[in-house]
Structures are given as C-alpha cells and as structure tokens.
Structure 1
Amino acid sequence: MQTHNNREILKKVKKYKKLDDILTYLDPEVANVISKIPDRYKNQVEEIRMRIGKPLMIFLNGEDYFINSNGQLRKTNIDTMIISSKNVYKTFRILSNYSVYAFEEEIKNGFITIKGGHRVGVSGKAVYGKNGLETIKKISSLNIRVAREIKGVSKKVIPYIIKQNNRIYNTLIVSPPQCGKTTLLRDIVRNISNGISKDNFYGVKVGIVDERSEIANMYNGEPQNDVGVRTDVLDGCRKYDGILMLIRAMSPNVIATDEIGDENDIKAIHEALKAGVNIIATIHGENVDDIKTKPIMKKIINEKVFERIIVLDNSKGVGTIKDIIDGSKYNSLLNKGI
C-alpha cells in the first residue's frame, strides 16, 4: 500500500510535522527523496513543485532548489530527479483520496485543500461546458504549498488598528506577492476575535470571506488555522456574495477578506460600511501610489474608507512592516507613534 510506505518514511522525520503532513499525500518515490533533504531545511519548505518531465523542485527562504535522488539541494539542474507522469498521477490519486469526482468542485478552481490546510495547485487541460470551466484533466503539474501559521506577527500593528469601545479602524494591508499579507491578516483576525486583555480589547465577532481558501485553510468544515473563537468562515465564496451573506446571517462586527480589487469587491465593502461593519482587507501592491494606479482602488482610497493602511515588503525578511499610514491624512504613524 502506498500510504503504508509513506508511513515508514515518516518514522525518520516525525519531528517535522508540516512536512510529515505533506509526505503522506505524495507518490512514495517522491516522498522518499524529499524525506532525505537536510534536516535544517525541512521546517523551511514552503512549496513542492512537480511538473511532468521537469526536475523536482522545492521553494524555501525565497529561493528555488532542485533535488537529486539523495535529497541534496542544487541551484542548477544537474543530476536531479525528473518527475514522471506516474509520479504526478499517483500523487493526484492520493490527494483526491482515489475519488477525483468528489473533488471536482475544488479542482475547477485550480486547487485542492488537504488536511492541515495545505493547498495543492493543479495545472493541466481545462475542460469547458455550457456553464463555463467544469474541471481540469490530464494533470501536468502540481504545486503543494505548505500551510504555515505564524502567531504573533500582528503584535506590532495591533495597537494602530484598535479603537476605544472595542472597535477597530477599517484597515487595508498592501503587499507585493509572498511578503506575508495573508499571514498578517490571519493573525490580526485571531487577535481581535479572541480579545487582547492588555489593551482592554475584549474581542469582536469576525466574519472571514475566504474566497481562495488561504486564510482559515478549511478542511471538512474545520479551520486548520487558529482564526479566533468569535470567527465565522465562508470558504470558497466570492467576496461580494460572502460579504452580503455574512452581514445578513452572522451579524459580524468585522469582516476580513483577502486580495480585493474588482468593482464588486468595492460595492460589497460599501454595503458593509453602511451596515456598520468594519473591514480588514488585503491587496497586491508596492505602496499606496501603486494601488492608486488602479482606477477602482484609487476611488476608494480617495474616499478615505480605509483609516489605516499597512504596507509590507521583504526588505528585512518576509512580513517586514514598511509603514503604517493614517488613511485620512496620509501621514506615517509608524515613525511618529500612535
């Protein structure tokens, strides 16, 4: 049995919990190779990429590495393991629990979420029907993203976004890709949901619209990440639909969502504000000037909807707080204190 073989492999790496979770879902041939990478890297793996006919690769510490059959990491594609169609097929079968049809709704969105909140991106032949994209067949590549929950990353920003009377400021997190915006958003949600006793903040009801299944990492209806005791999650739901549904059904004080940008997102944010609900959202961008180049975002920024704008980069590592801006005056709060 494949799962039995993988369990045998795991005996060697039991202390690397996140990697352990992933290895049980991989073709044993691939799992065996990855289990051999140096111990110092095992808790740093962020992505595992499998492409038919291409080298096995992992992503860690901001860089790609090839892997040879002995688990050695290489910067060049010399003597590295080449992924076969069998490797991808077997892995995909295990990921879908040998029932691809049961996962078709997820697959047509381009990914599968597995236990532990890890997300597996899927590429292959897109199949369209009368209702649009129906599924992806002839899988050619898989990208396994290791879910990592980092608690405490919002410690620096929390004092800037909470108000008196158990309220928060409407907050926008601006960040280039892979600079920690979702990790920061998740930790903010956890804190404001649980409450922060030292700041006399007793906690608020939070609704998460998790369109891309990246914030809570739901699996079988249960968040795989800690998003707080007063938090409700709408998983895989479009932001416009989800925001309106939460307002009507769950009476949240705050709604959090990731990667806003289209016109419907902005309409839904306005509906939330009219209902007295605060918003925490993220957007891709380098800074405020960058996001204002997008006409839809320029309008909402100029309306001063977001009272706090947090700008991230990776200048001092992933998740560096570059600035915290007062959304009404556009002055930096980070350098002047609260």
Structure 2
Amino acid sequence: MGDSLNVFDYVKKYLPKSVADALDGLDELGRYALKEIRIRRNMPVVFIINNIPSFADKYSGITHFLPKTPLIVDDVGFDEMLNAMCEYSFYSKINTMKNGFITLENGSRVGICSTAVYDDNALVSVKDVSSVAVRIPRQAVGCGMEIVKALFSNGLCSAIVAGKPSSGKTTLLRDMARELSSGFNSRYRKVTVIDERNELAGKVGKFFTLDVGVNTDVITGFEKAMAIETAIRTLSPDVIVCDEVSTLKEAQSIKFGFSCGVHFLLSVHIGSFDDLYRRTVLRELLESGFFKKIILLDDSYTAKIIDCQEIYDEADRKHIDNFFLADSRNYHGE
C-alpha cells in the first residue's frame, strides 16, 4: 500500500491546490482506493473511488453525492495544470495527445479530451483541451500470487489477461512479472517488460517507482512490436510482459517470439466475453496455439482463469466461421 501512496503524492503535485487539498482529506484506505480524478473546465471535479464517482464539497470534503457547492477548476487553474502535465511544453506531448493521452514522468496516464486539427486529411495537432482523466497506477504487491500459483506451479505457459478498461489488468500483469522474476518456485525467471507507455514500471529518469522484480529488464517508451523483437534478439528472456496488445503488427511480433521459445504474458481490452472469440487481434493470438490460459477480470477485480480450449469450443458452438482465419483488413487501428 505504501508504494501506491507514493504514486498518489506524485500525481498530486500536478493538480490545482484546491484538488490536492481535497485529496488530503482522504484516509489511507481512500487514497489506495482512488483510481481516477476527472477534471473538466468549470465543472465539478469527479473522484473515482472503488469505481464509484464522488465529488468534493468546497467546505466539507468528499461525498458520494453532488453537493450544492462543488469543487470546480476554472480556466486559469485548468490551463496551469495542463501546462504542468506537459512539462511546460505543450507541443512536446503532441504525439501522444493526438492519441488521446499524456503520460506523466512516473507512468501515470492522463486521458484528454480535445479538438482535432487536420491538414490535408492528416491529424497534425490538437487544441482546446476541455477535460483530463488522471489515472492512478496501483501497486498491489501480492495480488497476482494465487494466479501465478495456478498457472506456473508446473512450469511456464503463455497467458492473456482480458478485461474492460480499469479492471486491473496492468496491476495484475505487474505483480505477475514481479513474482516470476523474484523467485517463484525457487526460480528467478528472466523477465522483460515492454513498457510502451511507462505504466508498468513507472520509470522516472534512471529509476523505477514500481516493483517489477529483481530479475526484470524494462524497455520503456518503444513501440511494442519493435521492443518485443529487440528483447528477443538481445535479452534472451524467459517471459515477455506487455500491456494492451491491439494491432496485427504486435501480434506478429509475439508470434515471432513464440518461434524463438519465449513465453508471453499480455493484456487485451474486451467489452464482453464474446469479444474473446470475436476480436480480430485475439483470434490472431489464439490461432498461434501457444496461449494456454485467459485470465478474465471483472469490474470488481475478481479473476477467472479459463482454458483457451473453452474459447475454441464456444466459437465452434456458435458456428463462428474462420475463427482461425482473420482478415488482415480488419486490423487497422484495432
């Protein structure tokens, strides 16, 4: 819990003083349960605590109901906050902002809503940011132990963590990497974490703020496909861990890794159980035949481990044709 509080204090320094003061009113459990802070120009600030929206009264602290005098961030305060998040160089963050987010130095992701700027049908910039959603990375040491025992007590296998946004996929992946790297079953596995958005390890400068294990190498900021192939060629990993696999190029790099004897732990976004056999990228990954387990997370962070064979059987039961023959035209941007 202490590591999460360090992240909490780090994020606080970017926020308007009024928001930081409201957060100071949370007890330790409240700070640990805080998942997001949503700040919209001239609108009530929303705190997502245990997946429940809450508000701050300017005079009496945080409440589950919209108060008569809610905490609001005005234009000046919003712009000051945004400038700080951009390290006082808006255009240094344009590449990620075009994709809808800013990543703070410690790996905390800030989603943004803005207006697109096009030139000859190409997205070149954004402007007029109207709201931000600050996500708080959670270091829940030990949360993956039971899953690690269930999956890896008899050796390594490759697995997919699947769930909706904010279901705990990144937190679980991080702890699984830590367990495998740090002596589970008296083996210190060589783990490589591909941390494209700096959310798994939270690197600040030369140092990591989140524990991913004693025998773990971290590649930060590189596109996943390139980083996976680099890791395979240079680091001889037993296991590669990566978050939010979503493109054909990434899937192909993973399949290249399988041909080199590497195991993978990765996460994917799904909206429902049906996505497990309908999403194109998942079909491509499962078609490899190397993934043995899927860890399905629900909104309460409860995990269910299912055999990949169940997905094949369900696809057959529903008569989904060409389950293993994904059309590459469907991969663009998925």
TM range (shorter): 0.7 to 0.9
> How has the CA–CA distance of structure 1 residues 280 and 85 changed in structure 2, closer, same or farther, with 3 Å as cutoff?
same
Mapping for residues 277-288 of structure 1, pairs under 5 Å: 277-285=262-270
Equivalent-residue separation in structure 2 for 1:214 and 1:101 (angstroms): 22
Deviates more, 1:185-194 or 1:237-246: 237-246
Is residue 258 from structure 1 mapped to residue 243 from structure 2 by the alignment?
yes
- What is the aligned partner in structure 2 of residue 182 from structure 1? 170
Equivalent-residue separation in structure 2 for 1:16 and 1:212 (angstroms): 21
CA contact (8 A) 1:262 1:296 kept: yes
Mapping for residues 190-269 of structure 1, pairs under 5 Å: 190-196=178-184, 199-200=185-186, 202-269=187-254
Report the Cα offset of residue 286 of structure 1: 6.1
Q: Aligned to 1:307, what secondary structure does the other structure show?
A: strand
> How has the CA–CA distance of structure 1 residues 94 and 286 changed in structure 2, closer, same or farther, with 3 Å as cutoff?
closer
Equivalent-residue separation in structure 2 for 1:144 and 1:239 (angstroms): 23
CA contact (8 A) 1:37 1:73 kept: no
- What is the aligned partner in structure 2 of residue 62 from structure 1? 51
Give 1:173's match in structure 2, choosing from 161, 165, 177.
161
- What is the aligned partner in structure 1 of residue 100 from structure 2? 110
Long gaps (5+) in structure 1: 1-14, 332-338
Summarize deviations over 1:67-109 as a string: whole Å, max 9, x none.
2212232423632122211111111223334343444454444
Deviates more, 1:288-297 or 1:234-243: 288-297
Report the Cα offset of residue 231 of structure 1: 1.7
Q: Aligned to 2:81, what secondary structure does the other structure show?
A: helix
CA contact (8 A) 1:116 1:147 kept: no
Aligned residue pair count: 308
Deviates more, 1:296-305 or 1:32-41: 32-41
Deviates more, 1:59-68 or 1:282-291: 282-291
Equivalent-residue separation in structure 2 for 1:150 and 1:278 (angstroms): 23
Report the Cα offset of residue 271 of structure 1: 0.2
Summarize deviations over 1:219-261 as a string: whole Å, max 9, x none.
2243321111222222233222221121122222211111223
- What is the aligned partner in structure 2 of residue 122 from structure 1? 112
Deviates more, 1:154-163 or 1:27-36: 27-36
Q: Aligned to 1:157, what secondary structure does the other structure show?
A: helix
Equivalent-residue separation in structure 2 for 1:46 and 1:292 (angstroms): 29
The structure with more helix, counted as a fraction of residues: 2
Is residue 19 from structure 1 mapped to residue 4 from structure 2 by the alignment?
no
CA contact (8 A) 1:128 1:134 kept: yes
> How has the CA–CA distance of structure 1 residues 245 and 193 changed in structure 2, closer, same or farther, with 3 Å as cutoff?
same
Summarize deviations over 1:11-54 as a string: whole Å, max 9, x none.
xxxx9644332222222233234434567633322111111122
CA contact (8 A) 2:57 2:67 kept: no
CA contact (8 A) 1:190 1:227 kept: yes
Report the Cα offset of residue 277 of structure 1: 0.8
Q: Aligned to 1:245, what secondary structure does the other structure show?
A: helix
- What is the aligned partner in structure 2 of residue 85 from structure 1? 75
Is residue 292 from structure 1 mapped to residue 277 from structure 2 by the alignment?
yes
- What is the aligned partner in structure 1 of residue 260 from structure 2? 275
Equivalent-residue separation in structure 2 for 1:57 and 1:251 (angstroms): 45
TM norm structure 2: 0.81
Q: Aligned to 1:137, what secondary structure does the other structure show?
A: strand
Equivalent-residue separation in structure 1 for 2:117 and 2:206 (angstroms): 28
> How has the CA–CA distance of structure 1 residues 38 and 288 changed in structure 2, closer, same or farther, with 3 Å as cutoff?
closer
Mapping for residues 298-337 of structure 1, pairs under 5 Å: 298-314=283-299, 317-318=300-301, 320-322=302-304, 324-328=305-309
TM norm structure 1: 0.80
Percent of pairs identical after alignment?
30
- What is the aligned partner in structure 1 of residue 19 from structure 2? 30
Is residue 44 from structure 1 mapped to residue 33 from structure 2 by the alignment?
yes
CA contact (8 A) 2:229 2:253 kept: yes
